[in-house]
Amino acid sequence: MSTAKASRTGSGESGASGSSYHHGNLREALIAEGLALAAEGGLEAVSIREVARRVGVSPAAPFRHFPDKVALMTAVAEEAMARFQVEIAAALARETSDDPIRRIRAIGKAFLDWARRNPTHFEIISSRRAIDFAGSASLGADNARIQAQMVSLLEEAGRRGLLRVDDPQLIQITGRALVYGLARMLIDGQFSSWGVAEDEAEDVMERSLDLFLAGLLKHPVTEERS
């Protein structure tokens, strides 16, 4: 079982640090410290040598599992994506309504909340500049799973006659661009230039998501859905 499948209980960047190395779980310990280093200092802070030092093994030991930094960072991205999947599942579990629009909102808000709390993990996965995304079976599968969830919900919304536009792919791309852009604005500190205080940014992002979803609806938003 890969570490991405084995450690889906954590979700925040701060939870990655402090992993203890025991014989037989070196790979998992290296990934955990890679997550912690990225959270503390960004992508540039991660090196195989520093990860080895923090785990307490020789500089050569990690190469038994990761031939280079790209391989290590890809494994780190897989773990970050696994934790993101946990957040999506939890958000959908909390949304008890079967209204597909409300469930789409739950996924969108989970994305924004996760990116806000885990900016470096968001950067690792979204930029893809430090990882081999195409070469990772789990990253591609997890990404496809999220897209399939969205398509299923949009198709259900279409069957119920809720949508003004019958184009799930375009809706999904537009929604992705929205939440990705909002997350980038937050992480890059751009909200202040739009007159949004730091403690107001989360509310603005959530209301932006609601504005997008309201624009999809064929009929006015009801009190129950708002």
Tens digits of residue pLDDT in 56-80: 999 999 999 999 999 999 999 999 9
What is the distance between the alpha carbons of residues 106 and 151, in angstroms, rounded to a whole number?
Answer: 14
Note the pLDDT tens digit of each residue in 134-144: 999 899 999 99
Which DSSP string corresponds to 38-99? HHHH-GGG--HHHHHHHHTS-TTGGGGT-SSHHHHHHHHHHHHHHHHHHHHHHHHHH-----
Residue 36 clears pLDDT 70, i.e. is over it: yes
Give the global pTM.
0.81
Type of residue numbered 82: A
Please provide the average confidence, as pLDDT, over all residues in the chain: 87
Long-range contacts (CB closer than 8 Å, 24 or more residues apart) made by 86-93: 86/8, 86/9, 86/10, 86/11, 87/11, 87/113, 87/114, 88/146, 88/149
| pLDDT for the residue 24 | 63
Residue 3 clears pLDDT 60, i.e. is over it: no
Task: Quote the distance between the C-alpha of residue 168 and its chain's center.
Answer: 21
- Of the candidates 144, 159, 154, the one whose C-alpha atom is nearest the C-alpha of residue 213 is 154
The CATH class, in words, for 19-64 is mainly alpha
State the pLDDT confidence band at 22, using cuts at 50, 70 and 90. Answer: low
Note the pLDDT tens digit of each residue in 192-201: 999 999 999 9
Residue 163 clears pLDDT 90, i.e. is over it: yes
Helix (H, G, I), strand (E, B) or coil at 212: helix
Looking at the chain, the whole-number percentage of residues with pLDDT higher than 70 is 86
What is the distance between the alpha carbons of residues 5 and 206, in angstroms, rounded to a whole number?
Answer: 30
| pLDDT for the residue 225 | 45
Superfamily of the domain at 69-216: Tetracycline Repressor, domain 2 (1.10.357.10)
| Domain residue extents for the chain | 19-64, 69-216
What is the distance between the alpha carbons of residues 114 and 179, in angstroms, rounded to a whole number?
Answer: 11
Average pLDDT over residues 28-50: 89
User: Token match 């997550």: residue?
Assistant: 35
Residue 87 clears pLDDT 80, i.e. is over it: yes
